[in-house]
Each structure stands twice: as structure tokens, then as C-alpha cells.
Amino acid sequence: MRSLLSILWIPWLYWVIRRNLVLLWSGLNKTVSVFETNIRILGGLLSAHLIASDYATGMRIQSYDDQLLHLAADLAQRLLPAFDTPTGIPFGSVNLLYGVDENESKITSTAGGGTLTLEFGILSRLTNNTVFERVTKKSVRGIWSRRSKLNLVGAHINVFTGEWTQKDAGIGTSIDSFYEYLLKAYLLFGDEEYLYIFQEAYKAAMHYLHHDPWYVEVNMNSGATVWPLFNSLQAFWPGLQVLAGDVDPAIRTHAAFFSVWKKYGFTPEGFNLATSTVQNGQRSYPLRPELIESTYWLFKATRDYRYLDVGRDILASLQYGARCPCGYCHISDVETHKQDDHMESFFLAETVKYLWLLFDLAAGPDNIVENGPYKYIFSTEGHLLPVTPEIALEDEHCSYFGAFCNGGADHGYGASASSTKHRNGNYTQLDDIQTPSSHYSMSNVLFTPGYIKGVCPGLTHAQKFGISYSDEEDNFIEQTSESLDHHGESAIESSVQDQSSSIILISHPVASQQDEAFESESGSQDHANIVVTSDSDSDSTSRDNTVGSPGMNSEELMDDI
């Protein structure tokens, strides 16, 4: 219920919310997941507060007096003891009354330590208490400073020693939302440090994890494939690529992922690419939203009506395969469609929400996401987070994010003289930047003109601030900017294009000589062949030692679309 607050915050359900809040802190002597409590409860409280307190949306409740914000601040304070570690990366769990138990595990996931920035950052801006944002940024730095030489991060890490206990790198389980929050933290706050890290992490992921159109898990140190698996949580990735402006690979990957849905009627938790079969022990579908989320973003970017067909097929599967007397049931086996008497809160908070947004967008949108006074970022739990001047710190943000400021002015909320000055100086029409073969290049699918200057300050973060992220000693160390000049050769050319109701960051690497050699070396690699190798560095046991060629099998699946 608490993760659904941002959905239910409408006047005639006010009494339901109030009754629920009475029960919210009824049992504080409980140990909770920091990650889950943040994305579900804290995110829901903050999103509902922002909607309920905002006159511009027309949804403000007159009797509302920041009660949800006070609850959010109290909850976040109770989570803070988890961050008291040598690395700054938080424990996975904390007791809301007594703090971290002395026997608490020192192992946490990368997603657990890197998926806190949006909620904690918003809370800092709303309460003028910087401690929340500082601890979450320190956590991200703690993870990123311990990346491998390939710019990959593992799945699990010791929060005291900083040693990786599971060195499998991927975009799915235990890592997924780390990537997601890097980009979204930049889009929401305009903090260029997050953009710098995202660009480096994304480039590495696309080189080492991407076997077009699939993604695999590799050893973070060697890049060798250790796990040829489509994990259902990977399905968020095409949507993230749309936000980053990398639409072409998003289209191909989404088609591959949807082919698995077409084969079974649902996506299993794990699909073995080497055998083109459901992975043993990962046969369930717990009503996850990631595939429909990416479908929504791809339709939003391309207006290709085949994505409405995808949405229709997903809806039909849910109606005929998952519906049960009291709601929609967890599918325990995608091959038999056996139902379990369980429904996760994210089904309503995300799966249903993205389906509705998809079809509403096609019909002529009538919702605050598409027609409201602000741009919106969705948290990883699907909570609406408006990019308001109060949150985005517009004066600072607009110095290089002029398209957003221009869009904001068009929607009617105020911009200061300072931000107007920045907009006039930075809102520049540039030539289209396209990938070599791009049917869905941004110029083809987005019709609102207006780019920002070609090179965004966030992409030269290391040079500007003299910061190097190191895997030695603490989270990061300072160096002179002269020692980092070589990074300029591989600066990333970037532009931002403002669509009527979304923020799209278009990013294209400008290859240096080193990068060109890097690409030519990898160009001979046959992406159709994924070879599973033994991993001497990995602490995890081998989960599948089948050597196969998933590309050949994937072609058969793709024919179904």
C-alpha cells in the first residue's frame, strides 16, 4: 500500500491514505531492507507529497500540511545508520528502531548501494538537509571507485573492505538500477558527476556485456562470459537507452526480449541463451513491469504503432493468464501458467501504470505526465518525480540544460532572470547528430527543435574538478587536472533534445585513437557466439557451463515478432 501512495493520491481517496499512514509506523522495531524501503516507501511518500503540495498540477489538497514529507524525513533518518561503513556503501538492512544489528551481513548488492540517489536527493532539497544527498553520493562514489579496469562493477560487495564478493558484471539482477539511477540523477538534479559516471559505465556495458541484441554476464576483470542468460530485470534497459538517446540498439534488444514473452506468454525470471530454454529454478513471472516500461518509452520516442501491439499482447496475457478472483496472480511457471496466490505491489505501481500510460499516450494523452506543468522522472519503482525548480535547482541546472528551461517557460512556471540569461546564451540549434545507420535517428522521431551545445560540461568532469576515481584507499582521490588531460581525447559529444513531454539525452562517443584500436580489436568478435569460460577470479560458483551459440537460436525467436 505504501509504495502505491503516488498512485492513490487523489482527493476522494484521501481518507484511505490517512488511515494507511496511521499504521505506517505501528511497528518500528523491525529490520528492513534499505533498498526496498527506499524505493517503495520513501519514494512513495515523497512522490505523493510533491503531487499533493503542488498548485501547478491542480491536485493540491487544501488540508494537506506536509505530513508525508515529515514522515519521509523521519524514515530517512532511521535509514542513515546503515551508511556508517568504511566505504560509505550502506548495509543491506537496518532496524528502524535500533539501527544496524551487530550480526548484520557486510555484503550488499551494487543496486542496493547505488539506487538511493533520487529519493535521498529530493529529500535533501525539500528539507534543506544535505546529509541525505551526501551519504548517497558517497555510496555511488564508493562503488564506482572500486570498478575494474574495464569500467565494470560486480554484483555484490563487502561494505567494510570494498572487496567484490561476486564479480559477475551485468545489467540485470543486483546491478540493474545502479545504471538507471546514474542517468536519472543527472536528469533530475543536473549533477554532472552522475552523467560522467554513467557515460563511462554505459560505454563499458555496451562493449563487454552487449552481444547484439542480447546482454550477458561477464567477469568484471576479464570480460569473459560466465552466464549466457536473459534475466527478466534486464528488460528495463531499452527504456533507459531511450532516455539516453541510444534508440537503435534499444529497438533491437526490446524485440529480442519480447520474443521470449511471445514464446511463453510471459517472461521467465531467467532464459538460457545457449539452449533457448527457460532456466531451471527461474521459471516464474512475478508480474514484473520492466518490459512494458521499455515498450512505453519506445513508443514515446518513435510513435511506432507496433509497440501498441506489444502492449495489447502483454495486456491479453495478463488478462487471460494471470487474472485470479482477487486480483492478478504471480505465475510460478511460465510454461504451465500455474498461478500462485500472491501479487507484488509493483504490479499496480508500475506494470499497470506503464500500460495505462502507453495506451493513453496513443489516444491523445490526458494525464499530468504528458500534459502537466513539469517534466517527470520515474523512480525505479515507478513513482512520479517532477523536475521542478525546487528540486532541480533550476538556476544552476539551466547553465547547461537550456532545453529543459525553455520547455519549463513554455509550460508556464516561473524562471528567474538568471535562468533566462542562461537559456538565451545556451539554447542553440545544432546539426543533427546521428548514428551511421539510423532509421530511428532522433531527427526522424522527435519533432520539437532545440538542441543544447555539443559538449556538455558533465562529460569533462574529471578535467574540470581534478578528480580521479580510484580503486585504492578511500572512495576517490584528488589529482591535478594536468594529469588527466588525456581524457580529453575521448570526450563524448552530447546534446539534449526536448520533446513535448520528455527529456532525451543524445550521446555519441567521439572515438580517440585508443578507442579506435579498441573497437577494431573487438570488431572481429562474433557476437553470435557466446562462450562460457571458467572464471578463476569469481567467488561465485558456476551456474551454467554450457557452451552455445544463442545468436542462432535467437533468430528463430525473432521470427515470431
Active site residue 269: yes
Residue 380 labelled as part of a binding site: yes
Tell me, what amino acid is at 98? Y
In the block, cell 482527493 appears at 11
| CA quadruple 178, 179, 183, 184: dihedral sign | negative
Instruction: Looking at 401-509, list the stretches that DSSP marks H as alpha helix, in order from N- to C-terminal side.
Output: 402-411, 417-426, 442-445, 461-465
Q: Which of 54, 119, 168, 176 is catalytic?
A: 176
CB 354 within 8 A of CB 285: no
Active site residue 176: yes
Spell 327-336 as b/e; 16+ CB within 10 A means b: ebbbbebbee
Q: Which of 133, 168, 290, 350 is catalytic?
A: 290
Cis peptide before 213 (omega within 30 of 0): yes
Spell 453-464 as b/e; 16+ CB within 10 A means b: beebebbbbbbe
Active site residue 200: no
CB 389 within 8 A of CB 373: no
Q: Which of 191, 269, 394, 544 is catalytic?
A: 269
What are residue 202's phi and psi, to 5 degrees? -65, -40
| CA quadruple 356, 1, 238, 400: dihedral sign | positive
Strands annotated E in 393-518: 427-428, 451-452, 467-468, 477-478, 492-499, 502-509
Tell me, what amino acid is at 270? G
Residue 514: exposure state from Cβ atoms within 10 A (0-12, 13-18, ≥19): exposed
Q: What cell does 64 get?
A: 494537506
Active site residue 36: yes
For residues 335 and 557, give the distance between their C-alpha atoms in angstroms, rounded to a whole number. 16
CB 214 within 8 A of CB 229: no
Residue 59: exposure state from Cβ atoms within 10 A (0-12, 13-18, ≥19): middle
Q: Which residues are catalytic?
A: 36, 176, 269, 290
Give the residue numbers of the binding site for Ca(2+).
380
Give the residue numbers of the binding site.
380
